[in-house]
Amino acid sequence: MRPIPCRDCRRPVLWTTTEAGKKLAVDPAPDPAGNTAVWRDGTGAVRSRRPTAELPQTGWERLHMPHVATCPARVQQLDLPGTLPAGVTSLDAHRRKKRR
């Protein structure tokens, strides 16, 4: 389990494979506030899953935080400006009418 630098913030991340076969970056240090159980399978691959009430965390799994939740570069991208730039129209009012 060798951490690799995040391409956005350059912090180390650990790449795991989810139960669905997708890649998921997690912070390399275990975090009790995390929501992703991480373990190494019999082939040495780093795996991850979301613990549930039906399948809680087991003794060989450690909780980690998904990196997307802690990446400073991603958090800055999500901060939306208070006003939209010129030529951009907000669709919020249209979406509210459509949901009724």
**pLDDT truncated to tens, each residue of the chain (100 aa)?**
689 999 989 999 999 999 999 999 999 999 999 999 999 999 999 999 999 999 999 999 999 999 998 988 876 555 555 677 777 777 776 776 655 5
pLDDT of the residue at 81: 55
DSSP secondary structure string for all residues of the chain: ---EE-TTT--EEEEEEETTS-EEEE-SS--TT--EEEEE-TTS-EEEE---SSS---TT-EEE-BHHHH-HHHHHHH---SSPPTT----HHHHHHHH-
